């Protein structure tokens, strides 16, 4: 920021200084030329032709420097074949002029006199009673003009140098002061790391408040994830503790049924591990970024797999083929796989899957899985989501299907509720998942 500010300040000051130098130089030179032209015009209005055909002044020119030798101000009247009429200040050295055919005044510089550069204005005229074209010239030393120009440039140089230094210092102060809130945020983050505080609470300007809010939300999210990780680690440890205790006691007592105990308890431990691993995978995949999965293609692939297991069950799929949800495809397959398999297992032979059943909700896609089984009593519908809960113990299973479904759906911001199917009479599972953002957004 400082390099860019310094660069622009220097560029603008140089451009402005050059432009101002040109303007002031032109004004000073124009004023100098106007004085020379005034003297030239004074000579023209007083010049006449004498009886001998030579030029003379009918009254003296009111400039005493024309009479002082080498005064720095000179004039000369000349014409081809005529005797020149120089000022006394020229003494015995005539001016070398550049006569022009037209009658307009011309200005130019001359180095004729060593050590004394001149500024000359000359004009060619034909005086009354004469056919000769006379050249009137007035010359002045440039010493005073050059001194004024040098003084102007010196003032400009020092003024712009001080102005540039002041602007750079002000830009540095502005940058330092403007970035001060970011340094305060850095200090607040350092305190979070060293003192264990979990939020940025320092009063900060409005411009950085959105950054502070996002930072606090990130800290809250990280804290929530850490707490969830601790909770699930504790749940897994607690869930494995009882089977391990049973196995330890059976082994210590040399129980003759040790093999059956090992088989039964390892199955219990396996389903707990599967549940927590499924949840952990879903959390990890959600954290990788925006997810997207097509519901119709996922449901079709699940139905093809489940049909091979339940060949006598009739499966129907209907709804919106283009529905997209913000969830990883693998997790969507696992959710639909558990729900459709449960519907086939506990149903009476018919399973109906509807994709995007309620299309009027722009934020969520609702998926229905219906069967024609016995259903679940209303007072038992919430209990069935508990880990290991099973209403029909006569059929194989671990009782983790609906628990995994709800956990994974909630990780992605979805919900799972149970109801009664009006068409088939059995259980209706309403799965709501957030819609994926359109590809154009």
pLDDT, position 137: 92
pLDDT, position 132: 84
Mind giving me the DSSP string for 220-289? Answer: HHHHHHHHHHHHHHHHHHHHHHHHHHHHHHHHHTT-TTHHHHHHHHHHHHHHHHHHHHHHHHHHHHHTTS
pLDDT, position 201: 75
pLDDT, position 119: 92
Q: Where in the chain is the domain with CATH 3.30.565.10?
A: 290-434
Q: Which fold has domain 2-150?
A: Beta-Lactamase (3.30.450)
**324-325 and 116-126 strand pairing:** unpaired
> For 287-328, where are the alpha helices, taking DSSP H only?
295-309
Residues across the chain:
441
The span from the CA of 412 to the CA of 160, in Å, is 63
pLDDT, position 441: 44
pLDDT, position 396: 43
pLDDT, position 282: 60
Q: Which CATH number fits domain 290-434: 3.30.565.10, 3.40.50.2300, 3.40.50.300, 3.30.1540.20?
A: 3.30.565.10
pLDDT, position 265: 78
Task: Let me know: does 324 contact 293? Beta carbons within 8 Å.
Answer: yes
The span from the CA of 305 to the CA of 308, in Å, is 6
Task: Let me know: does 296 contact 323? Beta carbons within 8 Å.
Answer: yes
**350-355 and 314-319 strand pairing:** parallel
pLDDT, position 387: 52
**How many alpha carbons fall within 13 Å on the CB side of residue 273?**
9
Other C-beta atoms closer than 10 Å to the C-beta of 253 total: 9
**Which residue ranges of the chain lie beneath pLDDT 50?**
288-289, 388-400, 441
Q: Where in the chain is the domain with CATH 3.30.450?
A: 2-150
pLDDT, position 401: 63
* The two structure tokens encoding residue 89: 């200040």
The span from the CA of 53 to the CA of 418, in Å, is 129
Residue 192 contacts by C-beta under 8 Å, 6 or more apart in sequence?
A: 198, 199, 200, 219
């Amino acid at each position: 920021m400082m390099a860019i500010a310094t660069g622009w300040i220097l560029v603008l000051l140089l451009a402005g200084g050059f432009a101002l130098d040109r303007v002031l130089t032109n004004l000073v030179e124009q004023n100098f030329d106007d004085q020379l032209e005034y003297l030239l015009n004074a000579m023209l209005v007083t010049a006449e032709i004498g009886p001998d055909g030579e030029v003379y002044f009918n009254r003296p020119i009111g400039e005493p420097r024309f009479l002082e030798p080498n005064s720095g101000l000179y004039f000369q009247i000349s014409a081809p074949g005529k005797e020149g009429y120089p000022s006394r200040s020229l003494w015995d050295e005539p001016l070398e002029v550049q006569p022009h055919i037209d009658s307009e005044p011309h200005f130019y510089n001359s180095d004729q006199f060593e050590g004394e550069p001149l500024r000359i204005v000359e004009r060619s005229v034909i005086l009354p009673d004469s056919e000769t074209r006379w050249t009137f010239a007035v010359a002045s030393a440039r010493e005073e003009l050059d001194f004024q120009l040098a003084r102007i440039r010196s003032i400009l140089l020092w003024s712009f140098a001080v102005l540039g230094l002041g602007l750079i210092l002000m830009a540095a102060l502005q940058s330092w002061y403007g970035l001060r809130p970011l340094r305060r945020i850095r200090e607040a983050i350092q305190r979070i790391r060293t003192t264990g505080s979990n939020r940025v609470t320092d009063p900060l300007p409005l411009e950085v408040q959105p950054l502070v809010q996002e930072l606090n939300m990130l800290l809250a999210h990280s804290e929530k994830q850490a707490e969830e990780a601790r909770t699930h680690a504790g749940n897994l440890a607690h869930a494995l503790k009882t089977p391990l205790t049973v196995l330890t006691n059976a082994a210590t007592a040399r129980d003759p049924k040790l093999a059956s105990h090992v088989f039964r308890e390892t199955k219990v431990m396996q389903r707990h591990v599967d549940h927590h691993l499924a949840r952990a995978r879903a959390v990890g995949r959600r954290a990788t970024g925006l997810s997207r999965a097509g519901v119709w293609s996922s449901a079709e692939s699940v139905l093809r797999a489940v049909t091979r297991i339940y060949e006598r069950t009739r499966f129907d799929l209907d709804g919106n083929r283009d529905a997209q949800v913000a969830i990883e495809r693998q997790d969507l397959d696992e959710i639909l796989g558990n729900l459709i398999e449960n519907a086939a297992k506990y149903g009476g032979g018919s399973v109906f899957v509807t994709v995007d059943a309620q299309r009027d909700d722009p934020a969520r896609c609702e998926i229905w899985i219906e069967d024609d089984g016995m259903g679940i009593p209303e007072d038992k519908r919430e209990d069935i989501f508990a880990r290991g809960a099973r209403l029909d113990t006569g059929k194989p299973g671990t009782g983790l299907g609906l628990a995994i479904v709800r956990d994974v759906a909630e990780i992605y911001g979805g919900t799972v509720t149970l109801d009664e199917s009006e068409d088939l009479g059995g259980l209706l599972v309403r799965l709501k998942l957030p819609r994926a953002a359109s590809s154009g957004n």
